[in-house]
Amino acid sequence: MTQRGSEGRTGRLRRWLRPGIGIKRWLLLMFFGLTILAAAGAMLIRILFREVPADSVAGQLFELISFNFLPDPLRPLVVIGIGVGVFLYGREILAFFRPDFVEEGLAAMRILAVATANSVIFALAPTYMKYRGENRTTLVVVMAAAAILLVLLWVLVPRLAATGAAISYAVTTCGMYWAFAQLAHRDLLELASHQINV
């Protein structure tokens, strides 16, 4: 991309973020709404997993979607295998949907595959934190990740388009789940040392 084209995008972005036009309020409101929607979805899934009988159609669907039918150590390997498949056959997958999107979307798709595999591998860490009643810590980590995501989007999207958005998402998602994994690990070590001392 030429220097002039990059400045044009940045200029357009600055115009949208100018004080007084009201777009920032809507972006913040939209982000807040998406966060609440994601939290509500997580709570709904947790309730459904508990309440839906395993032998029902919904229970079997949950079993299939979450790879719950596989042994615990095998689940992350399956997700990693799917991610590797996206890496290896990403061009063909994108061409199936829209051939002219392949060159622009391939890097973004590969980055998102890595981020998704990471989040699936560490997905139990935030659930554990919520189970232990660490709601404030969980909220702080999620809000920090959201703020970092907004900054990265603002910096990277004008320069890198879809790839910039994918990088922003991957960095914040991987960082957030890594932070949850570290906090959960620390809590488990404290719990284990407390049980040994008792």
Are 68 and 52 in contact by the 8 Å Cβ rule? The answer is no
| pLDDT score for 157 | 86
Per DSSP, helices labelled H in 20-123 are: 23-51, 57-65, 74-97, 102-121
Write the pLDDT tens digit of every residue in 120-149. Answer: 778 788 888 888 888 888 888 988 998 998
Residue the block writes with tokens 């084209």:
5
Task: State if pTM tops 0.85.
Answer: no
Percent of the chain at pLDDT > 90 equals 9
Amino acid at 153: L
